[in-house]
C-alpha cells in the first residue's frame, strides 16, 4: 500500500464568483447573467482539496482577509481535513476573489482580485520552516508572491523535500526558482511564456521540456488541455498521455485537480510518473463534468471507480 504523503501547499485562497453567460460580452455590450453562484476556489485551495480527497495529509500556508469569505474558506478547508494552522488572518486585505465568466460552451474566462494572497510575507514562510522540512513535497503556484515561493523552495531543497511548481498564471520565471524545482507543470500558454516555444504537438512539447531542463528543472510535465499531457523525466523517460473524452460542463479547477492528485500519488523518486499522470488525468476528466472548482473535485474512491 502506498504511503500517505505529507503535502504542503503554498498558495492562494479565493472565493469564486461564478457568472454563467451564453457567451462573453463584446466591448460596450451589456448582457444579462443567466445564473450567479459562489464557490470555494483559488489555485492553492483547489490543489489542496484535490490532494486531500486523494488521501494525502495536506497542510496549507497562505492568507485570508478578516471577512466572511475568509471564514468560509477556512471552514471549507477544514471540512476537507486540511490543516489550516499556517493560514494567517490578514486584517489589512480582503480575501482573494475570482470572477469566473462561464460560457455555455463550458469554456471560462477568469478575473482575479488577489487580496490577501498577495500579502504573504517572509515571516509566514519562516514560521512554517519546520512544517516544510517535515513534508514529502511542497507545491506552489503563481497566485502568491514569487519571492515567497523561492524562500519556501530553498528550505525544501535543503531538507531534500520534493518541490512542484505550477507556473500559473503565466509569468516569466527566475532561473533561481527553476533551479530549486524538481517538477514544473506548465500548460501550453505557460510553457510558451517560459521557453518561447509555441506548443502544438509532441515535438514542440519535447523541445519546451528540454529547454526547461536546461534551465535547471529536473522533471517537466506539460498539461495540454483536451490533448492530454506530456512528460519528460530527468532520466529521459517521456510519454504523451491522452485525455479522456468527456463532455465538459465547466473547465474551472481541472488543471488544479490534476496537480493536486498528481502530488498525492507521485513517489519522491518519480518512478511511478506514468501511473500518477494517468490517475491525475482521470481525476481532471471527472472535474470538468461538474460545475465549480472545489465542488467538482472527485475523491480517490470516485477516481478509482471509473
Q: From the CB of residue 186, how many other CB atoms can be counted at a distance below 10 Å?
A: 25
**Structure confidence by residue, pLDDT tens digits, 264-283:** 999 988 999 999 999 999 99
**Residue 227 is labelled as binding a ligand:** yes
**Residue 204 is labelled as binding a ligand:** no
In the chain the domains, ranked by start, together with CATH numbers, are 6-305 (3.40.1190.20)
Q: Given the residues 67, 90, 182, 256, select the one marked as catalytic.
A: 256
- Is 81:299 a contact under the CB 8 Å cutoff? no
pLDDT value at residue 101: 92
pLDDT value at residue 245: 86
**Residue 271 is labelled as binding a ligand:** no
Q: Is the model's pLDDT at 290 over the cut of 90?
A: no
pLDDT value at residue 2: 60
Q: Is there a catalytic annotation at residue 256?
A: yes
**Residue 43 is labelled as binding a ligand:** yes
| Number of continuous H segments (helices) and E segments (strands) in the chain | 11, 13
pLDDT value at residue 1: 53
Q: Is the model's pLDDT at 243 over the cut of 90?
A: no
**Residue 67 is labelled as binding a ligand:** no
**Structure confidence by residue, pLDDT tens digits, 133-174:** 999 999 999 999 999 999 999 999 999 999 999 999 888 889
Kindly tell me the burial class for residue 37, based on how many C-beta atoms sit within 10 Å of its own C-beta (0-12, 13-18, 19 or more).
Answer: middle
Q: Whole-angstrom Cα distance, residue 288 to residue 107?
A: 10
**Residue 269 is labelled as binding a ligand:** no
Beta strands 238-241 and 229-232: pairing type? antiparallel
pLDDT value at residue 306: 63
| pLDDT averaged over every residue in the chain | 93
**Residue 124 is labelled as binding a ligand:** no
118: cell is 498577495
| pLDDT tier, 219 (very low <50, low <70, confident <90, very high otherwise) | very high
Per-residue burial over 207-244, b = 16 or more CB atoms within 10 Å of its CB, e = otherwise: ebbebbbebebbbbbbbbeebbbbbbbeeeebeebebb
**Residue 117 is labelled as binding a ligand:** no
Run of H or E including 110: strand 108-113
DSSP string, 119-145: G--HHHHHHTHHHHHT-SEEEEETTS-
Q: Where is average pLDDT lowest: 90-99, 220-229, 285-294?
A: 285-294
Q: Stretch 74-83: mean pLDDT, rounded?
A: 97
Q: pTM of the predicted model, to two decimals?
A: 0.92
Q: Across the chain, which distance is largest between two alpha carbons, in Å?
A: 58
pLDDT value at residue 112: 87
**Which residues make Cβ contacts (< 8 Å) with residue 305, sequence separation at least 6?**
none
Amino acid at each position: 500500500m502506498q504511503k500517505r504523503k505529507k503535502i504542503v501547499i503554498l498558495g492562494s485562497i479565493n472565493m469564486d464568483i461564478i457568472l454563467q453567460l451564453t457567451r462573453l460580452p463584446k466591448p460596450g455590450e451589456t448582457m444579462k447573467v443567466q445564473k450567479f453562484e459562489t464557490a470555494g476556489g483559488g489555485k492553492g485551495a483547489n490543489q489542496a482539496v484535490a490532494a486531500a480527497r486523494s488521501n494525502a495529509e495536506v497542510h496549507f500556508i497562505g492568507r485570508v482577509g478578516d471577512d466572511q469569505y475568509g471564514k468560509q474558506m477556512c471552514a471549507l478547508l477544514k471540512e476537507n481535513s486540511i490543516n489550516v494552522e499556517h493560514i494567517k488572518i490578514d486584517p489589512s486585505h480582503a480575501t482573494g476573489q475570482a470572477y469566473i465568466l462561464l460560457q455555455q460552451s463550458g469554456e471560462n474566462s477568469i478575473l482575479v482580485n488577489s487580496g490577501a494572497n498577495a500579502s504573504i510575507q517572509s515571516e509566514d514562510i519562516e514560521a512554517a520552516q519546520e512544517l516544510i522540512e517535515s513534508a514529502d513535497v511542497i507545491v506552489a503556484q503563481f497566485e502568491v508572491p514569487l519571492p515567497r515561493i523561492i524562500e519556501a523552495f530553498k528550505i525544501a531543497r535543503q531538507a531534500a523535500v520534493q518541490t512542484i511548481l505550477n507556473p500559473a498564471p503565466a509569468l516569466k520565471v527566475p532561473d533561481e526558482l527553476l533551479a530549486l524545482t524538481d517538477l514544473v507543470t506548465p500548460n501550453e500558454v505557460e510553457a510558451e511564456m517560459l521557453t518561447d516555444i509555441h506548443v502544438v504537438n509532441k515535438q514542440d512539447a519535447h523541445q519546451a521540456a528540454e529547454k526547461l531542463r536546461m534551465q535547471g528543472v529536473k522533471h517537466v510535465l506539460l498539461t495540454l488541455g483536451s490533448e492530454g499531457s506530456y512528460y519528460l523525466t530527468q532520466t529521459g523517460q517521456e510519454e504523451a498521455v491522452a485525455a479522456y473524452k468527456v463532455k465538459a460542463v465547466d473547465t474551472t479547477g481541472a488543471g488544479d485537480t490534476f496537480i493536486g492528485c498528481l502530488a498525492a500519488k507521485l513517489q519522491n523518486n518519480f518512478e511511478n510518473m506514468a501511473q500518477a499522470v494517468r490517475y491525475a488525468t482521470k481525476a481532471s476528466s471527472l472535474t470538468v463534468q461538474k460545475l465549480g472548482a472545489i465542488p467538482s473535485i472527485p475523491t480517490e474512491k470516485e477516481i478509482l471507480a471509473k
